[in-house]
Structure formats: structure tokens, C-alpha cells
Chains A and B, each alone.
Chain A
Amino acid sequence: MTAVWTTPKTWNTGDPLTASDMNTHIRDNMEFLLTGGTSVQNRVDASDVSITSTSFVDVDTTNFKVTITPTSSTNLVVVFITGAVSFPSTGYAFFDLTDNGARLGQDDGLFVIGSTSTFLANRIPINIAIPLRNLSVASHEFRLQAKVSAGTLTFLMGAGTANGDIHPYMTAKEIN
């Protein structure tokens, strides 16, 4: 069972010590703290996704996203993305993250890869961590977005591609 955080009860003189309170406020909160907060992870086994769009679009609308509800707005939430792309084009591929549909980066997004050669850009690892603070205590769905200046970007999704059967992960973790 996933541990859930409950705001600890303030005990007053004379309050009865009940099993229910002990389980909720001591056991469950200790378990929650031990597991390090809410963590959601999505391993993708789908079709590779190719993008030629020159405006930002979701890399994958169904398989590559994570949802997290922070327990406190003062906690740090870190979104980790690991995987690989193929970009055998002369141009740039830009990436951004959306929080409930709103892009977090401005302009050309949060990070970029550039290529001037088909030989240099056939397999590029993506390993990034995006720290976020002051998120509201509500459900947040994060999706990876991408666009290109020219050419075709392919995000490898564990689809059995020769020398490219790479399984990306997307994780959101709250740090108390």
C-alpha cells in the first residue's frame, strides 16, 4: 500500500491514545517519510515517436507523462527524464515540460540539442532533472514536449528498433 501523508495531529492533554490515530499519524507518516515522498514513474514500451513540428507538441500524449500531487507547496518536486533520441538532421531539437498543459520554459524551452551531421546525431542520450518549487498542493500532470528547427527528431520508446530499443523513464519525485 502506498503511504499517504497526513498533517500530524496536535495532541492535547487528556486526549485518548487510539490505534487509529497511531496508525494514521505515526505509522503512515513514518512510512511516507521513509519512502521519501510521492514518486511516480512511467516506463514506456510503445512506438518510437517522430516529430517534424516547428512548434512545441507533446512527445507522447498517452504513454510519456507523470502525475504527482505534492503534499506541500514548499517542497521541491523534481522531474527526471531519461531516454535517447535520434536526430540525423542539420538543425536543432528543442525540449520543454508542461505542467497541466502550461509550458514551463519560455521561448525555445528548457534544453536543446543541435546537429550538423547525420553521423553525429543518430543516438543522443537524454538525462535531465528539472527542479520545481512552489507547486500548488493539487494534481500536476507533467508531459515532455519537443519541436525542431528543421528535420526529423525521433524519440526512442522501446519499440524494438535495431540498436535503438531504448526504454525511457519519466519520474516525478517530491523531496521533503
Chain B
Amino acid sequence: MSAGDSLLGGLSCWLVPIVFGMGLLHLGVRLREVQVEDSAAYSYASARQSVRRVRLAGLRGRILDRNNRVLADNRMSVSIVCHPVYFQRRTWKETTEGISAAINGCAAVVGKPSPLTAHRIRRHVDQALALPLFVWNDIGPDELARFVEHERDLPGFGLVEVGERVYPCAAAASHLLGYVGREHIASDAGDERFHYSFPELCGRAGVEAYYDSYLRGVPGEKKVLVDARGFAMREWTVIEPQRGPDLKLTIDLFIQRLAERELMGVQGACVVLNPQNGEVLALASAPGFDPNAFVPVLSQKLYDSYAKDPSKPLLNRASGGTYAPGSIFKPVTALAGLAAGYPAGERYCCDGLFEIGDMVLHCSSRWGHGELDMRHALMKSCNPFFCNLAADIGTNALLRAARAFGLGSKTGLDLGTDNAGVVPDADWKQKKYREKWYVADQIQMSIGQGMLLVSPLQMALVAGAIGTGQLVIPHLNSVVESPSRPLPFTESQLSVVRDGMRMVVAGDGAGRGTGWRGGDRVRVAVSGKTGTAEVGSGKTRRKNTWFIAYAPSERPTVAIAMVVENGESGGGTTAPKVRNILAGIFGETEVAR
């Protein structure tokens, strides 16, 4: 070995610890980058791949009547769920089969066949492995007892409580409250926020739908830690879901029930409201339905039976149904005449019919009422009087009056079903029927026939507006204060019609009015108007019978409109029903007044 070699040898000896040291130092430096500098990024990546965020539905707020009686509430339903992690096998196929077999085993214990198809289980394993699989929803106490007894023998199965809607008053106010369904709700923050969400309760009709976003709870958040295959390992709630606020309605359950009792067995609707402030006290429509049948899910069979039923039980007739008003429109015609300058005391001789062109309109009194003024024409519901009046003042005066009462436009009720009805004019007729506007149309309208269509809610507002001189916007939410606007008629004009409507119920001292039954033995003075609208022709010809009223007559706090389909007459069929409601509200006296 040369000297140089030995130097080199010494060098290579020293090289060894130097290389070792540098190597370890290098690792230390790089590890510092990974574990200290970039640690946050890797922690995020770790959470991103292993944490699933699940949206938790908040309970819906309750719906209360004006006296805090509960109309819609929540109950906790119990579901049996299967946790897939207990059944993990090497392959997905084996896992799915394992779950399937376990569910069948559990079915034998619970005594209820498995409602899940193999396809449904496979889809859950594919798409929502981190979540429990809901097997039996809303189980009964027997099934629950059987399950709890054998829970130890059923590893991987558990119970989960889910909030369901319940309507304690069953079918009461069903159209008004509406019903709920379940659907996935897109979160406001976009898809980034949650990986999974369950279908949540949402309003599908009525107040449930209109105030859906108000009633809906604030969603919470659950995090699920999943392993590399996606099985849930651990879960914890990050944000507790919150119940939505209660909604207090203006509805009075007592009056609502009165109205529904009167409508039992018939098709029709009734609206009771306070004409001073627009609070709707009752909104009844018959026939009704039980909104509890829509929970937890509405079966297709039941839905079909509702949809095919000719009586249309799902239709809210009170605010969404429209009818020809018939004679209850006459107070509007009267006001139109007074506004157009027709003298209140002018008398007209009714001979039982009114002819114009080749059209003949009969009066309710076959041989005519003889000579009578506007008050008595209202009291006796004289057709020729108002036809004559309408012929004098013309279409525009009629239309102005009808529109002043809000007819032909939505009332502004806080409910999805708010039908505007139809106040026909020349343009409308031209568009709809491609026909000209004849004087006959104007005559027909004056007695509430022809193409005119109104909803019971609109007519309750009309009755109230005549009583107070103010047209209000109706509302159901007790927190809302709705504005009102004065009618474009003078007090003296209104007092003529008020007198007439009072005489409809109370008579003129010499004889009874057409609606005498409507205020019979009611503790307060009632003013009203009867109506019998003929619809259809030939075999489908039928009569929709009306009664509108306000009470007490001096300072009305209640306005009411009721329609009964296929009735006999407004005074005979509907007025007694309205009377019962008014007697329920105001009390009754022993002797006839």
C-alpha cells in the first residue's frame, strides 16, 4: 500500500460517518417539511378522505291556533336500522349478501317481512356505506318490544328515532294546514357542505307549504369517520339540529270545528273572518282528508283514490274553489248603482220577469214583487230590479264596484290556494270565447250569474267590507298585521245596502226576508244575503247555495261566507248552517227576535 492509498483509505473511513450524518440530517430536514411545514395540508387531506359530513334534519315548528291549541305537532317514530360495518366481508358481494341475510334474520324476530329489495341493499352499500340502512320505518310497539327483547342476538341492528309530523285534530282544518312529504333539501352552502343528507319533511300544501321555510328546523351536522373502504368507524354530532319556531295562526279551532260540523256530509266551503283586521277564524272545505295519512309517506294507492274521487277531497274550496255567486252579488250591484247616481228611494215594479232581447229572466217570486225600492229588492232578492238597475248604469259601473271589492284578483291570503276568480269584461270574453260583450252579459252579472266566478273567501271579505266600509287583506299568521283600504262608497250609500242586508235576515216588520233563518235566535243582530246560483244545464243542472253574513250588524267582528254545492236554496239550505255557526260564536236566545 502506498502512502496515497493509506490517505485515501483514511479518507474513506472518515467518509462513512460523514455520509451517515448527512443522510440522517437530510431525512430530518425533509421530515420537518412534511410533519411541520406541510402538516396542515396533510391533516386536511386525512380529514377529507376519512370524514363524511351528514346533514341532520331539525324538527319542524308546531302549528297552533289562536288559543295555542296544537294543530300540527311532532312525534318521534322509531326505525330499525342496520349498520353495514358489522357485516363487512372481503368482497362487496359477500358484504351485501351478509346484510341481506342478517335483515332476513331480523325480520323473523321482528315479525315483519323485509321491505328492502336486494337492489336497494346493494345501492346502499355502493352509495351510502357510512350511514345506517333504514330497514323498518315507524315500527309499532309490538315490533319494538320484540326487537328490544332480542337485541343482543342481533348485532349490527339498532334503533333510530326520526321526527314525524302528526296532526292531533286529525281531519280538522286539513286543507288549511295542508300536509308534508319528504325530500332531499339542497343545502344553502352548496354540495361541499354535506356528503349525505336524509330526505327531510317539507310542506306540500296549505300552511305547511306556505310557511315551509319558517317552520323548517335549523339543520345540524354529524361527522362520520370512515375507514379506507367506507365503513363507519365512529360518529359524533358537531352541530345539534334545532326545532323550527312555532307558527301561531289566527284560526280558532272552536269556530273551525263549528264550520266543519255544518259542512259534514255535503260538498262546500265556509270562511269565517274578522272584517276589522283580516284575521281568518275558520277556513273549512268539505269533503276533507286526514293529513296523518300522508305520514310517513303517502301511498300511491291512497293518493290515486284522492285524485280520482269526483268530490275532490284535496281541493281547498274555501279559498281555491270558485263558484258563480248568484244573488249574493246583488249588494255589489246595488252599490254600483248608488255610486252611479241611481236614487236610493227609486221604486221599481217587478212583474215576475225581466226581458231583454230574446232573453227572459224570471224572478224568485213568480207573479212579481210589485213595486219595491232597493232595500226591499235586497230583502226579497228581486232579480228584475237589479237587471233593470244594471241596464241603466252599464257594464263599467258594475265592473268598478266588483273590483273595488277585490273580486277578480287574489285576496292576498298567506296560503298557496288563493283563487282570483273571474270578473268578466269585454276583453276577457273576447280572449276566452272569441265573442262580443252583449248587454245580456251585463244583466247576467248584475244577479251574479253568467261568467262571474268568486271564491267563498272573497265573498266573506265582501260581506265584511260592506259591514265595516273597509276591505281587508285576510291572513292566517297571527303575527301579520294586514292593511285595509276604504271602499269607494259613501256612508249613506253603504247604509242603504246595510239596511237591505239587515232586512234579509230580520225582515221589514211586515214580512220575512229570504235569509231569515240565518240570524234566527242569534244573540246579536245579523245582516246577510242569500244566493242560489244555477250552474250547468240539462241533466247536470244544479244549484250552489250561498249565504254571506256579518255580525253584529252595528259593528261587525265576524264576516262569514258559506257555499253548499247541490243545495236547495240559499235561504233554506245554507242560511241555517251559517246561523248555527253564528249562534256558536255569539250565543243564542230562547225566543225569536
Q: Do A and B come from one complex?
A: no
Residues of B in contact with A (beta carbons under 8 Å apart): none
Interface set of A (CB-CB < 8 Å, partner B):
none
